[in-house]
Amino acid sequence: MEKNKVLSISDINVYYGPIHAVKGISFDVYDGEIVSLIGANGAGKSTTLDTVSGLIRSKTGSIEFMGENISSVAPHKIVAKGLVHVPEGRRIFLQLTVEENLEMGAFLRDKKDVEPGKERAFRLFPRLEERRKQIAGTLSGGEQQMLAISRALMSDPKLMMMDEPSMGLAPIIVEQVFEIIEKLRDDGHTILLVEQNAKMALSISDRAYVLETGNITLSGTAKELLESDSVRKAYLGG
């Protein structure tokens, strides 16, 4: 059975002034998948996600979400359509409490949906419930990542984009984060994951794309990429 296309990127080119950061890439994400975008630092991964969520604009091509071209829709309206972005470095609101961060994640939802959303977040991450009244800046790195993920879930997204959720976390916490991401997929969420940690990312992904200096150089199922010589050499340490 053919699965539904959730996201379809076609020929996007993104510039920062004279810097050509993303060079005409195209890729698709299907319903219920974890798709990874892997690549070294500076490859253009964050730029790609920022373009999809509308923070930066592509000069060309199209970005279709659920069959609708969103390439010129304002960022806050893209969230309303069910596409949420957990940005690099988590970017939680450090001066707001844990609970207020979750409320911001639910900014566009009906008032009646906010409490159930929080309860769901607390079931997923009981640590957050213990700290609900605490200022988010006092959380540990791992807890902040949990909060960033929960905050994004508050909007009840169809597609979640996560930018380097493992960044700066201890290995044991990284494993927990990846378990959560798998669990989210099993709960029916579709996930576009950006990672430098290719091994971890490929271990939970269905498919992946390799990004090198703004170009997609390889793509395939996660299994194919894990077995590919060039990926092993460049990203998996031989």
Partner 1 sequence: MSVLNNLIGGLSLGSVYAIIALGYTMVYGIAKMLNFAHGDVIMIGGYMCFCAMQYLGLPPVVGILIAMVVCTVLGVLIESLAYRPLRGAPSLAVLITAIGVSYYLQNAALLIWSSNPKSFTSVVALEPIQLAAGRLTVTGEAIVTIIAAVVIMTALTIFTSRTKMGKAMRAVSEDRGAAQLMGININRTISMTFAIGAALAAIAGVLYCSAYPTLSPTTGSLPGIKAFTAAVFGGIGSIPGAMLGGILLGIIEIFSNAYISTQLSDAIVFAVLIIVLLIKPTGLLGKKIREKV
Ligand X SMILES: Nc1ncnc2c1ncn2[C@@H]1O[C@H](COP(=O)(O)OP(=O)(O)O)[C@@H](O)[C@H]1O
**Which stretches of the chain bind partner 1, using CB under 8 A?**
53-55, 74-77, 79-80, 84-85, 87, 89, 91-96, 100, 103-105, 107-108, 151, 155
CB of 68 to partner 1, least distance (A): 17
Q: Which does 43 bind (CB under 5 to 8 A by kind): Mg ion, ligand X, partner 1, none?
A: ligand X
Q: Does 88 sit near Mg ion (CB under 5 A)?
A: yes
CB of 25 to Mg ion, least distance (A): 15
- Considering beta carbons, is residue 92 or 191 the nearer one to partner 1? 92
Q: Rounded to whole angstroms, how far apart are CA atoms 11 and 102?
A: 35
CB of 214 to ligand X, least distance (A): 7
Residue 46 identity: S
Answer for the pair 108, 184: CB distance below 8 angstroms, yes or no: no
- Considering beta carbons, is residue 88 or 156 the nearer one to Mg ion? 88
CB of 194 to ligand X, least distance (A): 7
- Considering beta carbons, is residue 45 or 131 the nearer one to ligand X? 45
Answer for the pair 45, 194: CB distance below 8 angstroms, yes or no: yes
Contacts of 209 (CB under 8 A, 6+ apart): 25, 27, 35, 36, 37, 38, 216, 218, 219
Q: Which does 160 bind (CB under 5 to 8 A by kind): partner 1, ligand X, Mg ion, none?
A: none
**Which stretches of the chain bind ligand X, using CB under 6 A?**
16, 19, 21, 39, 41-47
Q: Which residues pair with 173 in a beta bridge?
A: none
Among positions 46, 51, 101, 145, the unique one binding Mg ion when judged by CB under 5 A: 46
Please report the DSSP string for 5-73 in residue order. EEEEEEEEEEEETTEEEEEEEEEEEETT-EEEEE--TTSSHHHHHHHHTTSS--SSSEEEETTEE-TTS
Kind of pairing, strands 34-38 and 159-163?
Answer: unpaired
